[in-house]
Amino acid sequence: MGKIKNNNETILKVNDIFYSIQGESSFVGSPCLFIRLSGCNIRCSYCDTKEALTDINAKPMHTGDIIAEIIKYGENVKLVEITGGEPLMQEGVYKLMRRLLNLKYTVLVETNGTLSLKNIPDKVIKIMDIKCPSSGYANYNNFDNLDYINKNDELKFVIGNIADYEFAKNFITVNRAMIKTEKIIFTAAEFAENQFSPHTIAENILFDRLNVKIGFQLHKFLNLK
C-alpha cells in the first residue's frame, strides 16, 4: 500500500516502528504494534531505551507514512502503543493518535507523567508513570495529570528498591480519592540499584494487601524486542 497523506501532514521524529508482545501494561501478552518516538525530557537511572532519549537515531516521518507502516501488518493487529522516549514532547503526536483512532485501532500511549495529558484524545488509553525516588525524578511528577486519568487508563510505578515501594504505597494511600482507575501496576526496575525482584515486590504487595498488579517485562523474559 502506498503512502497515506492529507493536506495537514505532520512530521514526527521516529526512533522505531516494530511489532511485538505487550510486556508491561494490563494488555500484557497481547500482540501490539509499537511506535517509538525520539526525545525525552528526563533521564531515569534505569532507562532501558537510551537509543530513544535524543534525536540522534531519529527518522523524520510524516504521519501518513507512519500509518502506512502500521497498516502493513493487516486487519488482525488492532492494538497500537505510542511510546518513547517521551512521546508527548512532539506536538504532532496528537494528530497521529486521532488518525489511529479513526482507523479503529485501540491506541495506548506510554508517558513518563511529567508533561500534561490534557490534549490526549479521550479514547486513547493512557499508561502513565509515577516516578519513584530511584528514577531520580520523583520531584517531576505532574499531579495535575491525575485529573486526566480515567477508569480505562493505567498508573505504573517502576520499583527499584524498598524506598520506591514505600513511596508508591504512600502515593496510592494519599491520593486514593483522586485516582479514578483500578489499573495500578508495580513493575520491577530492570537496571535499578539495590533492585527489588518481582518476587520481592509480590511478597510486599501480598503482605500489605494492596489492590495493585505485579508487573515485569514479559517481552524481555521472552527475549523479544
Per the CB < 8 A criterion, the answer to whether 3 and 68 are in contact is yes
Query: Above 80 in pLDDT, residue 9?
Result: no
Domain count, the chain: 1
CA 63, 144, 169, 179 torsion-angle sign:
negative
Is residue 54 situated within a structural domain? yes
The CATH number linked to 153 is 3.20.20.70
Cα separations in angstroms, 215 against 22, 149, 171, 199: 12, 20, 18, 10
**Domain annotation covers residue 2:** no
Phi, psi of 60, rounded to the nearest 5 degrees: -65, 125
pLDDT digits (tens, 9 = 90+) for 62-112: 999 999 999 999 999 999 999 999 999 999 999 999 999 999 999 999 999
Instruction: Tell me if 5 is assigned to some domain.
Output: no
Q: Please give the single-letter amino acid code of residue 181.
A: T
Within a domain: residue 58? Answer: yes
Residue 6 belongs to some domain of the structure: no
| Calpha distance 111→120 (Å, rounded) | 11
- 147-177 pLDDT, tens digit each: 999 999 999 999 999 999 999 999 999 999 9
In a domain, 127, yes or no: yes
CA distance 124 to 144: 18
Question: In Å, how far from its chain's centre is CA 176?
Answer: 21
42 occurs within a structural domain = yes
Structural domain containing residue 32: 11-221
Predicted confidence at residue 3, as pLDDT, reads 47
Q: Which three cell numbers stand for residue 217?
A: 517485562
- Read off the pLDDT of each residue in 201-224 and give the average, rounded to a whole number: 84
Report, as an integer, the average pLDDT of 116-131.
98
Q: Please state the pTM of the whole predicted model.
A: 0.91
What is the mean predicted confidence (pLDDT) over 125-148?
Answer: 97
Confirm whether 85 is domain-assigned.
Answer: yes
1, amino acid identity: M
